[in-house]
Amino acid sequence: MSKTMKRWVLGGAGRENLNLIEANIPTPGPGEILVKASAASLNYRDKLLVDLGFGLPTPQTEPVTPLSDLAGTVVAAGADVTRFVAGDRVISTFLPDWIDGNGPGTARDPNDRVLGGPMQGVLAEYVVLHENWAVRAPSKLTDLQASALPCAGLTAWTALVERGKLRAGQTVVVIGTGGVAIFGMQIALMHGAEVIVVSGDDKKLAWAKELGAHHGINRQKEDWVEAVYRLTNDHGADHILETIGGAHLDKSLRAAAVCGRISLIGVIDGFEISGGFGAFARKRLIVEGIQVGHRRSLEDLVCAFDLSGMTPVIDAVYKMEDFAAALDHLERGPFGKVAVEIG
């Protein structure tokens, strides 16, 4: 095996600070595994990291490798490793310290230890992870497909299943057709829910219907809130994946059913949210922030994809050296996920 590898690093906010370098292959220490990376997938936060520095440590003392979502094969294990052996296929966890339950963090200092900023990420040919920071990859998915699960897939699963207790027959509204939204659609369909997809693109709405969505609403052509009323006979949405944020939350508050649940996920319209108190109070809504999810839920999600026969939707695959082009694709708005093939 070669002693060096390729690794992307970000020295500071801005594409001009993004470089593909040659680095030494790391050695796993006690409790750690060395993973030969096969694929990684992008999330919207990765674009914010590279372009705006969102998630970079302060102060930044060394370059940070971007991306959090890895699939690969264990090639070596340090002392005292018990969860994996060489040859195991694994995927990374997004929040490495969160195994189950409420997780780490305090009111003053909520947990921000995530891979790919501020912690070192996974866009490298070899990556060292603590054995607790990985789970076994789905046996029925390719590495490219499996790499889509750790952040976007788990976020949708946490919102709908782990926290939302989704039941068959409920109505789920997903906003957009990006990674979290399409995973939300698939997970809702797994559980027998009625799925409404909201998008500004008729072609993407048609693709969503081909994958099983029951209804598509073009938000450019009609008020999507009124359309939800019409499609549900005024019942509204039992679950809404709010991927826009900002003042768009008000639309979700109006579209939600009595005692409905809105999962706050996206920040496309900004980090400050707003909405009318009337609908929030009179409909007794649950509005919950979702920080991806814990390792045990990721293991549940792996089982769900292995048993359901569904496969994550990968819109495009880029070579490792074309990472900047992958970021551009993410900015244009993919249908599902954008992935990078490593090695």
pLDDT (average), residues 23-47? 97
CB count in 10 Å sphere of residue 26: 16
Looking at residue 8, what is its pLDDT? 98
List pLDDT tens digits, range 85-139.
Answer: 999 999 999 999 899 999 999 999 999 899 999 999 999 999 999 999 999 999 9
Contact between 154 and 298 (Cβ < 8 Å): yes
Share of the chain above pLDDT 90, in %: 94
List pLDDT tens digits, range 291-310.
Answer: 999 999 999 999 999 999 99
* Nearest alpha-carbon partner for 42 in 95, 112, 101, 94: 94
Cα angle: 155, vertex 161, 166; to 5 degrees: 130
pLDDT (average), residues 187-205? 98
Give SS3 for 293. Answer: coil
* Nearest alpha-carbon partner for 241 in 288, 189, 201: 288
Residues 6+ apart with CB under 8 A from 268: 44, 243, 244, 245, 246
Looking at residue 221, what is its pLDDT? 97
| CA 42 – CA 101 distance, rounded (Å) | 26
Output the six-digit token pair for 204.
């993407």
* Three-class secondary structure assignment of 67-122: CCEEEEEEEEECCCCCCCCCCCEEEECCCCCCCCCCCCECCCCECCCCCCCCCCCC
Is 0.85 surpassed by the pTM of this model?
yes
| CA 106 – CA 119 distance, rounded (Å) | 19
List pLDDT tens digits, range 230-269.
Answer: 999 999 999 999 999 999 999 999 999 999 999 999 888 8
CB count in 10 Å sphere of residue 62: 8
DSSP3 helix / strand / coil % (the chain, rounded to 5) = 30, 25, 40
